[in-house]
Structure 1
Amino acid sequence: MAAKDELGRAGENRAVAYLTARGFDVVDRNWRAPDGEVDVVACAAGDLVFVEVKTRRTDLFGDPLEAVDARKRARIWRLAHAWSSAHPDLAQGRRWRLDVIGITGGDPACGRLEHVEDVPWA
């Protein structure tokens, strides 16, 4: 596995541990569709939460949260629809929400974690 992939996987593992500790029920990870991948899908307080996780070793090239621009959010919206169509029993009757988790540090297990809830889709 490439170093970049390992970093991303470690960041996602940290994000899932963080979400679980805060009462989120993680229902899916790394769900793939032709248009891309949803990092984490969770349920929290009745909401269906699509979580994008961005991990960086440093902020030299910008904060990881800045990488989730309008184009990326629009793609996640399309993926959320695809995921919901594939899992209607979990999606029905829930409000959808986009959260973004950014992790910065050489070791994602102890790097700085920022969680932004309910990011606008567009």
Structure 2
Amino acid sequence: MALKAGQAAETLAQRWLEAQGLKLISRNQHARSGELDLVMRDGDTVAVIEVRQRRSSHFGSAAESVDARKRVRIVQATRSLIARQPELARHPIRFDVVAIDGDDRIEWLRNAFDAGNWA
């Protein structure tokens, strides 16, 4: 059941971001360290987007669920993606979070976190 809910949230986020002018590069990119929900182009920038949905804020908001451990896994998966698609490294890379609440309200957090030193 959670898989279907996660896919629905990613589809909702993708469509909403496309309406904001972003273009899909890839979806559900798998790497040993984890999965990248959405990779999109925002102008010249490559936006790596983590989609989080919470039906209730009882245990914190959807955005708050992207903790330090999750951020590290996203950065590692992005490094794997760039190793496979080195042309992406020619663009600025930004890490965003799209948080969806129980009423399907979307909060887009641009530059939600950074990768630190890529080297």
> 1:121, CA displacement in angstroms?
2.4
Instruction: Note if 1:16 corresponds to 2:9.
Output: no
- Structure 1 partner of 2:112: 119
Q: Map 1:85-104; keep pairs closer than 5 Å.
A: 85-89=83-87, 91-104=88-101
Q: In 2, distance between residues paired with 1:29 and 1:48?
A: 13
- Structure 2 partner of 1:29: 27
TM-score (norm 1): 0.88
- For structure 2, the 5+ residue unaligned runs are none
Amino acid at match of 1:104: D
Amino acid at match of 1:50: V
List, as ranges, runs of 4+ consecutive aligned residues in structure 1 with deviation greater than 2 Å.
none
- For structure 1, the 5+ residue unaligned runs are none
> 1:58, CA displacement in angstroms?
1.6
Instruction: Note if 1:67 corresponds to 2:60.
Output: no
| Aligned alpha-carbon RMSD (Å) | 1.2
* SS at 1:16 equivalent: helix
Q: Sequence identity, in percent? A: 33
Q: Report Cα offsets for 1:2-45 as digits up to 9, x if no partner.
A: x2111111100000001111110111000111111000001112
Q: In 2, distance between residues paired with 1:88 and 1:73?
A: 21
TM-score (norm 2): 0.91
